[in-house]
């Protein structure tokens, strides 16, 4: 099997991959509270897991690499519930700028920032816009659960897509790290209990910053009680398949900027 993890390769092997114009997947997550039943690494673990599964699917046919996972992001909204390590935008930008500059200096050009945390979505759009121009390279970003939205909807029973510490995330954790899940605490923990902007305004087109603590006393949005490892496995594979499709889409990467 072809090794796809940057951190496990020797420098010369990585340089050879650059010479092949490999796609680099840079997984970005968060370390933050995930309710009473899930560990704080969920978003980092899952973005890395999806990235590796995607890369392994295509490695035989297309050069690809997965960097280590950026395990902290914009998680200010979780801080008041504890267990959370958060960056502000300037630090997050500086970190990704440093990494992407390194990649481009090492002669990689096709970079996919694979996001696993809702709080990073808008920030990553800004990051990609600025770095694509600075580095004159086809950077792209996606959040795996939005990319595989349709399939996720078919797999999940009580929600349409990934929320937070929910049926989807709990299922995926059960698939890859069941020892880190305490299902006894998942039962009956359904969120949110408090009203959300979207309820009040009737659309998600208005954005107001709100802490999770103000929305859900236990830190969960969604229904983790419906989670199963089998669903988790299917979700991860659906996500990996979708990400692999982006990586190998030659037309996508060669669209002029």
Rounded (10°) CA dihedral 147, 149, 152, 158: 140
Nearer to a copy of itself, 26 or 226 (CB): 26
200 lies in the site for a copy of itself, by CB under 8 A: yes
Among 62, 109, 146, 241, binds a copy of itself (CB under 8 A): 146
Nearer to a copy of itself, 190 or 242 (CB): 242
Element of type H or E holding 135: helix 121-135
**Which residues ranging from 6 to 65 are in contact with a copy of itself (CB under 8 A)?**
6-15, 18, 31-41, 44-45
Q: From 156, 159, 124, 123, select the one nearest 142 (Cα to Cα).
A: 124
Among 1, 154, 188, 251, binds a copy of itself (CB under 8 A): 251
x/- track of binding to a copy of itself for residues 153-172 (CB under 8 A) = --------------------
CA distance 97 to 86: 17
Nearer to a copy of itself, 51 or 87 (CB): 87
CB of residue 200 vs a copy of itself: minimum separation in angstroms? Answer: 5
Q: From 222, 112, 217, select the one nearest 172 (Cα to Cα).
A: 222
Among 21, 61, 98, 153, binds a copy of itself (CB under 8 A): 98
* Contact status, residue 219 vs residue 36, Cβ threshold 8 Å: yes
231 lies in the site for a copy of itself, by CB under 8 A: no
193 lies in the site for a copy of itself, by CB under 8 A: no
Q: From 172, 217, 216, select the one nearest 48 (Cα to Cα).
A: 172
Among 122, 178, 187, 193, binds a copy of itself (CB under 8 A): 122
CB of residue 163 vs a copy of itself: minimum separation in angstroms? Answer: 17
Among 52, 62, 79, 183, binds a copy of itself (CB under 8 A): 79
225 lies in the site for a copy of itself, by CB under 8 A: no
**Residue-wise DSSP of 100-126:** HHHHHHTT---EEEEE--GGGHHHHHH
Length of the chain measured in residues: 257
With tokens 């390194």, the residue in question is 102
Q: How many CA atoms lie within 13 A of 207 on its CB side?
A: 3
């Amino acid at each position: 099997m072809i090794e796809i993890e940057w951190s496990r390769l020797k420098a010369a092997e990585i340089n050879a991959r650059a010479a092949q114009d490999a796609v680099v997947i840079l997984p970005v997550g968060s370390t933050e509270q995930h309710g009473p039943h899930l560990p704080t690494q969920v978003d980092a673990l899952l973005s890395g897991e999806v990235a590796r599964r995607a890369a392994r699917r295509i490695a035989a046919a297309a050069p690809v690499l997965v960097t280590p996972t950026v395990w902290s992001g914009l998680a200010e909204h979780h801080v008041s519930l504890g267990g959370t390590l958060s960056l502000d935008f300037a630090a997050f930008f500086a970190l990704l700028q440093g990494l992407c500059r390194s990649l481009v200096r090492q002669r990689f050009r096709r970079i996919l920032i694979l996001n696993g945390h809702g709080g990073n979505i808008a920030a990553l759009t800004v990051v990609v816009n600025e770095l694509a121009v600075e580095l004159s390279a086809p950077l792209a970003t996606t959040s795996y659960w939005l990319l595989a939205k349709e399939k996720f909807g078919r797999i999940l029973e009580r929600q349409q897509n990934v929320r937070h510490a929910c049926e989807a995330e709990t299922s995926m954790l059960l698939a890859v790290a069941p020892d880190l899940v305490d299902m006894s605490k998942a039962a009956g923990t359904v969120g949110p209990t408090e009203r959300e902007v979207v309820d009040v305004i009737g659309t998600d087109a208005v954005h107001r910053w709100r802490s999770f603590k103000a929305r859900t006393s236990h830190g969960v949005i969604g229904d983790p009680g419906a989670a199963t490892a089998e669903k988790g496995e299917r979700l991860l594979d659906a996500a990996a398949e979708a990400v692999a499709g982006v990586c190998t889409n030659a037309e996508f990467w060669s669209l002029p900027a």
